[in-house]
Amino acid sequence: MASNTMYSNPPCAACKFLRRKCLTGCIFAPYFPPEEPTKFANVHKIFGSSNVSKLLNEILPHQREDAVNSLAYEADARLKDPVYGCVGAISVLQRQVVHLQRELDAVNADLMRYSKGKNYGRGGSSLDTNTGICVAYNPYQWINNPASDNAGIGGDGGR
Amino acid sequence: MASNTMYSNPPCAACKFLRRKCLTGCIFAPYFPPEEPTKFANVHKIFGSSNVSKLLNEILPHQREDAVNSLAYEADARLKDPVYGCVGAISVLQRQVVHLQRELDAVNADLMRYSKGKNYGRGGSSLDTNTGICVAYNPYQWINNPASDNAGIGGDGGR
């Protein structure tokens, strides 16, 4: 007697980890192949499989691969740095942007002096001199202090 | 008869959300005050309160405020952009760094020409011409393609 239910063999990394049957149409299977067990284990440890499954079901199928990869990236970063996770990378990059923009402004100023008022100077992003944030690119305005020594994220932790 | 158990009144945002008594020493209370209910709700929705509690217990007390703020930042970014979350911000910043480094290299080259071999030119980060990544700063080497149109994160999604 043939069964109407089809199983993946071998099961995907998620179903193997969760010790359940990997049914055809499993939401995890295309993104968590059996040969990458750590990818699911990390995502599960940080976000929980139920939250990941919910998120994948709320977005379009063609977006799911990118979503899983970004979750895996965040999970890996949080396991490496439990305090800042990938927000630490954002802070480093923001400081780098501020540093490069200042360098660029300085070199442009030097070039201006060399060219003696010939209106020479390259464009680029504009640095907000009040905040030190490169306003044209800053994706989250509330990362408001990239020049400080900590992660530069907002909020006072309620203390 | 006095009780040995002390409660916070009002309860912290986490205990109120989870509908439980907020005991003295509650791991969430210092970071999730009652007047910021959304902060906990977002973190709980993305990471789950059990994972957050586990993480806070695994790090030192003086690191917890930063950890909660970075989790809140990630959660907020994921709610705004379910596909890329804060990895989208990393990708934008990486592209910005590559763009600024190229600008800086070009302006430095112009300056060199002006100064006619006087060994003039500013320093700055070095751009790896093979990968396009500013190698001195890149915090996660496996964000390997910042110049592409997608989030630039690694992994093939197992397809």
Is the separation of the CB atoms in A90 and B76 below 8 Å? no
- Where is mean pLDDT largest: B44-58, B103-117, B137-151? B44-58
Angle at B56 between CA B55 and CA B62, to 5 degrees: 135
State ipTM. 0.72
pTM: 0.73
Alpha helices in B6-159 (DSSP H): 13-17, 37-47, 49-58, 64-80, 87-115
Question: Residue A127: beta bridge partners?
Answer: A134
Q: What CA–CA distance (Å, rounded) separates A66 from A63?
A: 6
Confidence at B113, pLDDT banded by 50, 70, 90: confident
Per-residue pLDDT reduced to its tens digit, B47-104: 999 999 999 999 999 999 999 999 999 999 999 999 999 999 999 999 999 999 999 9
Query: Which residues 94-123 of A are in CB contact (within 8 Å) with B?
Result: 94, 96-97, 99-101, 103-104, 106-108, 110-111, 114-115, 120, 122
Residue environment code for B1-13, b if the CB has 16+ CB neighbours within 10 A, otherwise e: eeeeeeeeeebbb
Please count the residue pairs, one from chain A and one from chain B, whose beta carbons lie less than 8 angstroms apart.
217
Please say whether the dihedral angle defined by the alpha carbons of residues A34, A39, A43 and A44, taken in this order, is positive or negative.
Answer: positive
Distances (CA, A) of B141 to A21, A142, B138, B148: 36, 26, 6, 15
